[in-house]
Amino acid sequence: MTAGRDSAVGEQASVAPEKAAKGVKRAGGGGGGDASVASGKKAAVTRKAAATRKGAGVGAAAGASKSVKAAVSKKAAGAAGTAGAVKPVKKAVGKAESRTALVRRARRINRELAEVYPYAHPELDFENPFQLLVATVLSAQTTDLRVNQTTPALFARYPAPEDLAAADPEAVEELIRPTGFFRAKTKSIMGLAAALRDEYGGEVPGRLEDLVKLPGVGRKTAFVVMGNAFGRPGITVDTHFGRLVRRWKWTEETDPDKVEKAIGELFPKSDWTMLSHRVIFHGRRICHARKPACGACPIAPLCPAYGEGETDPEKARKLLKYEKGGFPGQRLKPPQSYLDAGGIPAPPLGGTAPPPATGG
């Protein structure tokens, strides 16, 4: 467009002197005034042409400036789009997610976790329902590892409910002291042992309504026992489970009973027990409370909370725990499937942990 303007201006500048010369010729060639006028007209035309060229140059510069700004804006928009693409989950999984979409996403996460943790299991050592019941009560406000390191001596001395019910409370307190809150826990496990002896013939009941009546036993403990000692489905809502299902937007509930109900409605009952193990496994190994290893998470594309933790893959891998990080697990006697997957048994109380495995 600028070239067109320059061409038009050039034609105008070349035609103008010719017209001026003809005018002078018709006047008989005389009169310096006429010549001066013609010369003035020529100068004016020349100035006009220059101004036109200058204006055309300014217009071109302005147009170029607008083009550059437009290009920058497009580039910025592209960069924003690229940055947004790093976390596509938040767009795909937002407040507008339908109930059907939620169920599908939740079940897909469960399937993915099943592939990641095919060896998921309760991380308390036990050989019978009584041992699992006592160990689960002792696990409150402490780690399964510490319970596993404590119960061998306890069960060796009090192998049955009748033995524990008749024990010296101070002796029991001393044995379970490493688990913390040992006085309250002593009262609970001795009380439930007495109830088992007096009301259930020394046997652990397999019904929820019976289990929750025992001292120190709530729904979480009851479902652990039912699911792992009796094969009856139940959802275990511990701190890990509650944290992850809220991060995944499966529910906004914080009350354990309400969480249990909400999650139970997303899955068939047959999935409940193993779902609990997988979610808890994931919470302990990858999706930690304070610094989740987002960059090493196998379900990151399905997680609305992606980015809350470390997203750099190399840094995230350093945050992995237990067998995922090549370190010992929580059980002194883990299942063979766990060992086959690279898991390392935990050391006994006061023992030295084996060195980390070389693999991730």
Whether 220 is catalytic: yes
Angle at 126 between CA 170 and CA 230, to 5 degrees: 120
Query: Which candidate in 125, 144, 185, 220 is catalytic?
Result: 220
3-state DSSP assignment of residue 127: coil
3-state DSSP assignment of residue 328: strand
Q: CA 254 to CA 127: how far, in whole Å?
A: 33
Q: What value does the CA radius of gyration of the chain take, rounded to a whole number of Å?
A: 40
Q: CA 172 to CA 159: how far, in whole Å?
A: 13
Q: Residue-wise over 58-77: b if at least 16 C-beta within 10 A, else e?
A: eeeeeeeeeeeeeeeeeeee
Query: Six-digit token pair at 355?
Result: 């060195």
Residues 263 and 249: beta-carbon distance below 8 Å: no
CA distances from 272 to 20, 154, 224, 260 (A): 101, 31, 11, 10
Q: Look-up: residue for tokens 């780690």? A: 143
The answer to whether the Cα torsion of 32, 34, 37, 38 is positive or negative is negative
Whether 91 is catalytic: no
Residues 294 and 307: beta-carbon distance below 8 Å: yes
- What is the length of the chain? 360
Number of H-type helices and E-type strands within the chain: 16, 0
Query: Which candidate in 238, 249, 261, 315 is catalytic?
Result: 238
DSSP string over 50-112: HHHHHHHHHHHHHHHHHHHHHHHHHHHHHHHHHHHHT-HHHHHSSTT--HHHHHHHHHHHHHH
Instruction: Tell me, rounded to whole angstroms, the distance of Cα 308 from its chain centroid.
Output: 6
Question: Catalytic site residues?
Answer: 220, 238
